[in-house]
Amino acid sequence: MKLVFSSIDILETWASRLLHFVLLPMIDVLLLALIYAQYASDFSYQVAVSSVLVSACMVAMSSLSGLLVDNRFRGVDRYVISLGGSSYYWFSQIFVSAVVSLALSLINLALLGLFGAGIDLLLQAVMYLPFLLLSGLVLGFAAFVIAWRMENPYFMSNLLSGSALVLSGALIPIDQYPPILKELAQLLPLSGWLAAFYGDKSHCLHDAIVLLAWFLISYGIYLYQKKRIGQKEAGSIL
C-alpha cells in the first residue's frame, strides 16, 4: 500500500502536497466563485463548495486512472493478468485514489470554513462527497480501460477532466444550458449530485443509473481488453 501511495506524483514532496492539496484547489475555487460573482453580482460560498465537490470527483478519477496507466507502463497490468487477477491490487489502487481525493476535499472544505462558509453548507457537502468520490473512481476506471491499449492512455482521462466542470452544473444550473450541453451533461454522473447539493434531489436516481451504466460498460470493456492482452501474452510466449 505504501508503494501505491508513493506512486502518486502529488505526494512526492511537501511542496507538491501543499501546491496540489491547498494552493491550486483554492485558486480554482476562488476563480470560479469570482466568475460567478461577475455573473450574479454576489460571491457564493455554495458555488465555491460545489467546485470542491467537482474537484473531488476529478482527483479521484485522475488518481485512479494515473495509477493504472503507470502500472501499464511498468507492465504490472500484464503481470496481474498472468496471475488471473488480484483483489488486493484493485483494492490498493482504489483505496489510495479515494484517500487522496477525500483528503484534498476535506482540507479545502475546512479552508472554506475558515474563510466564512457556513457549517450547514459544509456538512451538506460532506453528505454528497461520497457520491462524487464514487463517480470519480468509476470514471477513472472507465478512462483507463477505454484507453488501455491506445497510444495515448491519458486520452479519456484528459477528455473527462477537461469537460467535467462545465458539464457538472457547478456554476450554472443544467436547466439553463444550451440543448447540446444539456444532453452531454446527462451522460456524466455529476450534474444530479450537484443539483441535489443545490437543493434539487429529483435527478439523483438518474445519476445513480448513469453511474451504474458507466461501471457495467467499463467492466465489459475491461474483460474484453484483459482477454486480448492475455491472448497476446500467450502468443508471445509461444
Give first-to-last CA distance, the chain, whole Å: 34
C-alpha cell at 159: 477528455
168-202 pLDDT tens trace:
877 777 777 888 888 888 899 998 998 899 888 88
Q: For 47-78, how does the pLDDT look when each residue is reduced to its tens digit (9 = 90+)? A: 888 888 988 899 899 999 999 998 888 888 88
Structure confidence by residue, pLDDT tens digits, 102-126: 988 898 888 888 878 889 999 999 9
> Which pTM value belongs to this model?
0.85
Report the C-alpha gap between 235 and 168 in whole angstroms.
44
The count of other CB atoms within 10 Å of the CB of residue 125 is 23
pLDDT digits (tens, 9 = 90+) for 17-52: 666 666 766 676 666 666 656 555 566 778 888 888
C-alpha separations of 193 from 21, 26, 205, 207 in Å = 23, 21, 9, 7
The three three-digit cell numbers of residue 35, written as one number: 466568475
Question: By the 8 A CB rule, do 128 and 208 touch?
Answer: no
